[in-house]
Each structure stands twice: as structure tokens, then as C-alpha cells.
Structure 1
Amino acid sequence: MAGLLPALVAVSQKAAEVARLCRAEEPLFRLLVAEKTGPDRNERFQHDFKTLADVLIQELIKHDLGTQFPELRGHIHGEESSEFKDAEGGTVTVQVGATPGDTAALLLAVLGPEQARAAELLAEAVHREVTLEDTELADIEPGVCPGDLGIWIDPIDSTNEFIRGCEDVAAVDGVAPGGLRSALVLVGAFDRHTGVPVLGVINEPFFQRDPQTGRWQGRYHWGVAHGDTRLCSLSPPAPRPRPCVVLSRAEAPAVRGALGLLGGGPPLLAAGAGYKLLCVALGLADAFVLSRATTFAWDSCGPHAILRALGGGVVALEGALRARRDGGGAEPPELRYHRPRPGRAGAERWANPGGLVAFVHPQHLRAVLDALRDVPGL
């Protein structure tokens, strides 16, 4: 296990480089979009897209982790199907080959022969070795065996913002309402027996621009929450006296209104579930509230582990409200990641049911639940 956390960080760094490369090649990028249909489509959006970047990142993470930790093979899961429509309308299964040439040849089947250089660049990025300068990672031993774990990958969370590519969206109180800043790589490890998230990595490929070159630079955050071990690259944010909440722009007006009365300021609005979870971990907001089942295991597993490492968590809103109304003192139910929802198909098998609340400080969770306990429909 000693090498698994550095491996998760390394694959997230490689994934971030692929994401930046795909955004930088605009003629190529326009060829990479394929619309999701059927049970894999997120019903929240009229158009939900996947890109070759999504699929390629997911498959490189599966390949690299499965090669380094054979015990994980078959237990590394992601948002995307590995099938992609090629230039002629056929179907190609995207995977990482044994060599950069093999991977480039497969990518050419998707992109078409006129994109040979782009395929080579992508293949080189996929096969490039990543060296981490974070020496602290090498000494961390969480004490759990890879054979007991599963992995959830969101190769590019907030794909719609990644596709739209708005690059200079001004932040509001430190929170970007949308744009490339909200497109993240999320990797989380969970205990296969209990579903509890134990390791998490959030990578921000588009954190800031290099002032000299104008190119995007990234950063990453990691957390460990296993047994009595709580380690994180972040420090727990100081609690505000009254919580400030971050919400989706599509959140119900009744929920917005109730949370606006908490006194920590008007709710902040942002795109991307992963980004809103990151805002809580960074202390830019004290809670992320979502009243509907529009997030999935791959959105929340990695950030959830980081929030647990900081002393917080992610609970199911519906169950937490029920426990609060009952007044029995029961702990709100935290999300789990090892069992699909019965009777559901496609992506809905792994939806987080009943909404969620993410937090670092328990008093903020209690304040949010008290504010929402009388909202109709919750």
C-alpha cells in the first residue's frame, strides 16, 4: 500500500497533462466530442458529452494502476465507456497499447489519418513517466492492502465546462462560477467490503496560467482516511461562525432560499460536483448542498476521502434530514461506494441517492440540516 497513494497522484498528473494537451489543440479538440446517449446519459443536462480525453484518461489510469498493482485489476471503475466513434462512424475500443506507437495507431482509428501528429502527441503523453517531487508521499503508509480496495475515476469532472472552454471566468469570493477552472481529475480508493472512501486525489489541470508562457499550470491535493490515520496535503480550514454554502446553478429555489438564511452570506454558485467539493475542502465554502440524485460515485469518492481526512465527510441529504427530524441522535449516513443501486441501469446504478451535503466541520452540517428540515419535498 505504501506506493499506492503516490501512484494515484502520479496518474492524476499524467491525466492532467493529457487534458491540457487536448485543450491546447483546438482543431483536434473539435473532433473529440461525441454525444452520450441512452442509459449513460446524465439526465440533468439536455446534452451530456464525452470526449476522447475522458476515455483516454480513464484508460491510462486503469492501465498504469493495474500494471503496478495487479490486485486492483477488475476493480478500477470510471464514468466513461471505452468505446468511441471513429472518423468513419464505426466503433473503436480505446485502450493503452504496449508502446506509444501501438497507442498512437489505435488513436488514429478514432481521429483519422490526417491527425497523425495529434495521435502521436497524445500517445507520448500517455506513456510518459511521471516523477513526483512530493517527498512526503513516499513515507505515507495507510495500512490497507490494495487487494481490499476499489478505485473510482472521474477522468474530467465538469466535462461540459471543459468542452466549452471558457478560460478567464472571474471568481466570486474565491469560487469560479464556471469555466476551465472547474474541470478536474478525480481519483478515489474505497474499501471494497465497507464502501468507505480511504484515499483521494483531486487534480486541477487548469489552476492558473503561467505569466510568461500563458500556458495552463495545475496542482493537486490528496488525503488519507483509514482507521485512525488522517493525513492530507491541505490543512483543515478555520470554521466561520455561520456557514457559507456552495450550490449548483440548477438548485431548487426553495433550497437556495432556506440556505440563504444561514447568515454566512448568499449561496455561492459553481459548476461541477468535484469542484464544489473542492471548494469545501479549501475552505472557500463551508458546505456543498445538492438536493437531487445528480452526482455519482466517480464524482464524490476521491473528494470524500479528502474531506474525511480533514475531519468532515459527505452525507446523504435525505437520510441525514430523516435522522435530524427523528431527533434520535443517530449519525447521518455517509455515502458508500461499493454497491450499485438495485433496479437501476447504466450510470444511474451508481448515482448518489437522495442528494448530499459535504462539510468539514460538523457544526456546519447541523446548521445546514436545521435550515432544510422544513423545506417541502426534502
Structure 2
Amino acid sequence: MAGLLQALVGVSEKAAQVARLCRREEPLFQLLVAEKTGPDRNRRFLQDFKTLADVLIQEVIKHDLGKEFPELRGHIHGEESNEFRNAQGETVTVRVCATPGDTAALLLSVLGPERAAAELLAAAVHRDAAPGDVELPDAALSVPPRDLAIWIDPIDSTNEYIGGREDVAPVDGIAPGGLRSALVLIGAYDRHTGCPVLGVINEPFFRRDPLTRRWQGRYHWGVAYGDTRLCSLSPPPPPRPTPRLVLSRAEGGPVRAALGPLCGDGDGDGDGHGLRFAAGAGYKLLCVILGLADAYVLSEGSTFAWDACGPHAILRALGGGVVALAGALRARRAGDTGPPPELVYNRPAEGAAGAERWANRGGLVAYAHPQHLEAVLAALATVPGL
């Protein structure tokens, strides 16, 4: 497991470098900017550059992990399809080729005349990734990679990544949006149980160097397997008497109104000082991991396995978790006093197709302290329709 965790950290760093490269190098940045400008964004090829960057990072992670751990091949899953239709109507399968020149040629078949962009991307893809500086005790080395599978979100919060806002002021440490919320998420789960066991979150745009003006990143990891709990982060601070919750801005009024009083909002209008709002599922999960929020509540099925798997493993390593909201409320109303059901990552949703097969239907609650989970579930149990 130590070698696998080092590899996950290493490929997350490589992915972060590609994400930063796309904003730093002019030929790549101009393609990103074109995504924002509207009618001309797909003039040269049918899929936007944002999606190509996503897919390429995903394929790099799959290639590098599969090369080092052959037993994982066929069990590394991502958000994106790696097939594109180019301007000539041809289907191009994006992959990492044997040489930088071959990869650049393949990318050119999608990017059309953008040779400089294709060559910059190919060089980054073939650059060796330094292994993560992760040391684990022997006690953690008990799960073979053949029992695991991987979920990847190559650039979570892609709209914020494309928007590129750099000056979004945080509120109590939580950035409401902007580049800070664009993350690389990698999680390993047990193929048989679906339980998350390893997680890596990489923040490519954590801070900007004041001298070079270049973005610098950081990463976090966690292991939760059997009785082993290891994490790059310290345990969360003691629970606040009045919890701070982070939500999506799209969250409905009834949920806000139910949670507002819990957070110290006396009039119940859902705008209390304990409610915070942010972009990106991964970033909101990270806010709970870092202790900036006590829980992340989402009542809709708008997140997916690739969003939650890595952060869920880190939360478990810290003593928290991610609960399936609808299932937890059903159990509560039925009088079940056992632990609420946590999300699992090996079971597609019945009757769904495409990406929806892996949606976290019925919402979720990510928490650091069990008492805050209990308080959130008690408040939401009063909301009709949940």
C-alpha cells in the first residue's frame, strides 16, 4: 500500500502540473480562454479544450498507475470518456503513446493546427513524475493492489478552472469560488466492499508565489483500511458548539431553512453565520477535511463516485465519513439506531445509464464529528420530500 499511495501522490502532482501548464503557457492558455468567449469556442474542433485537458490528465493517471501496478489495469475509472470527434468527423481515442512525438501527433488530430499546444501537452505527459514523499509504517501494508480499484476526477470544479478567478476572497478560510476550488481527486476503494481506503486531494492552485507569480500547489492523503488510520493532516479541531456548514449555492430553500437554526441563524431564513457556500464538490469536501467546516450537506444527486471517493477515504482516516443522505433519513424515520449508511463506490445505480450510473443519488452529508452528523440528520428529518 505504501508504494501505491506514493504513486497516487506522484500522479496527482503530475496532473496538477498539467493543470497549471494549461493556464501558464500562452498557446494552451489561449485555448482555455476560447472556452469562455462563446460562439468561437468550438470553431476548430468539436469538443472544447477544457474537456481535452480533463481527458488527458485522466489518461496520464491511468497510464502511469497501470504501468507501475498492472493488476490495476481495467480497474481505473474516471469521469471523462477518452473519445473525441474531430473537425473532420473522425473519432480519436486520446491516450498516452510510446513517445512524446507520437502523443503530440495524436493530440494534433484533435487540436487541428495548434502544434505548439500539442507539443507542450505531450512533453508534460511524458515527464517523469517524482514519487510522493509518503512514508507509511509496516502496519499499513496489508491490502494488495489487486483488491482495489481507482476513481479519478482529473479537474474537479472545471467551470471555476476555466473562469480562472484569482482574487476571490475567502470567508472564514472558505473560498466561495475561483481557482482555489479546482482540485485533482484520486481515490482507491475495495473492489468487493466498495469502501474507500486511500485518498489523495491535490490543490494545484493553493497559493501564488509573490516573486515569480507562478501558482504553487499542495496535496493531502489519507489511509483508512481495517484498523489502520493514517493521514497527512492532523485530526480535526474539537467540534464547534454551533456547527459551520458548507453548501452549494444551488441548495434549495427548505434545506437552508432547516439548517439555519442549527448554525445559529435565529430567524430560520437559511442565511445564518454558520452557513457557508462554495463551488465544487471536492472543494467542499476538502473544507470539512481541513476543519474549515464541520459538515458539507447536499440534498441532490449531483455528485458522483469520482467526486467523493478520494475525499471520503481521507475523512475516514480522520474519524469522519460521508453518509448517503436519503438512506440515512429513511433509516432514521424507520427507527434504526445503527450507524447511517456510508457511500460505497463499487455499485452502479440500478436503471441508470451513462454517468448517472455513478451518481450519489439522494445526496450526501460529509462530516468530521459524529455529533454534527446527528444534528444535521435531525434537522433534515423535518424537511418534507427528503
- TM-score norm. by structure 2 comes to 0.90
Find the aligned partners of 1:246 and 1:140 in 2 and give their Cα distance.
Answer: 35
Find the aligned partners of 2:256 and 2:229 in 1 and give their Cα distance.
Answer: 33
2:310 paired with 1:284: no
Q: Give 1:21's aligned amino acid.
A: L
Shift of 1:112: 1.9
Give 2:269's aligned residue.
Answer: none
1:8-23 to 2 correspondence within 5 Å? 8-23=8-23
Find the aligned partners of 2:26 and 2:173 in 1 and give their Cα distance.
Answer: 28
Shift of 1:356: 0.2
Q: Percent identity?
A: 76
CA contact (8 A) 1:153 1:298 kept: yes
Give 2:103's aligned residue.
Answer: 103
Paired residue secondary structure (1:51): helix
CA contact (8 A) 2:9 2:132 kept: no
2:308 paired with 1:309: no
1:41-56 to 2 correspondence within 5 Å? 50-56=50-56
Give 1:83's aligned residue.
Answer: 83
Q: 1:138 to 1:108 in 2, by over 3 A?
A: farther
1:121-136 to 2 correspondence within 5 Å? 121-132=120-131, 134-136=133-135
Return 5+ residue gaps in structure 2 as ranges. 37-47, 265-272
2:369 paired with 1:361: yes
Q: Give 1:212's aligned amino acid.
A: L
Paired residue secondary structure (1:136): coil
Q: Give 1:168's aligned amino acid.
A: D
Q: After superposition, give the CA deviation of every residue in 1:230-276 in whole Å (9 maximum; x if it has no partner).
A: 00001121121121100000000111111111135331000000000
Q: 1:369 to 1:49 in 2, by over 3 A?
A: farther
Q: Give 1:116's aligned amino acid.
A: R
Give 2:345's aligned residue.
Answer: 337
Q: 1:303 to 1:214 in 2, by over 3 A?
A: same
Shift of 1:334: 0.2
2:206 paired with 1:198: no
Find the aligned partners of 2:141 and 2:277 in 1 and give their Cα distance.
Answer: 35
Q: Give 1:285's aligned amino acid.
A: A
1:170-319 to 2 correspondence within 5 Å? 170-238=169-237, 239-263=239-263, 265-319=273-327
Q: Give 1:348's aligned amino acid.
A: E
Paired residue secondary structure (1:153): strand
Q: After superposition, give the CA deviation of every residue in 1:101-124 in whole Å (9 maximum; x if it has no partner).
A: 1111111111123x2222222111
Paired residue secondary structure (1:3): helix
Q: After superposition, give the CA deviation of every residue in 1:20-41 in whole Å (9 maximum; x if it has no partner).
A: 1112235534536789xxxxxx
Shift of 1:9: 0.4
Q: After superposition, give the CA deviation of every residue in 1:71-96 in whole Å (9 maximum; x if it has no partner).
A: 00000000001012435453311100
Shift of 1:324: 2.2
CA-atom RMSD in angstroms: 1.9
Find the aligned partners of 1:151 and 1:140 in 2 and give their Cα distance.
Answer: 22
CA contact (8 A) 1:6 1:137 kept: no
Shift of 1:143: 1.1
Q: How many residues align?
A: 365
Paired residue secondary structure (1:109): helix
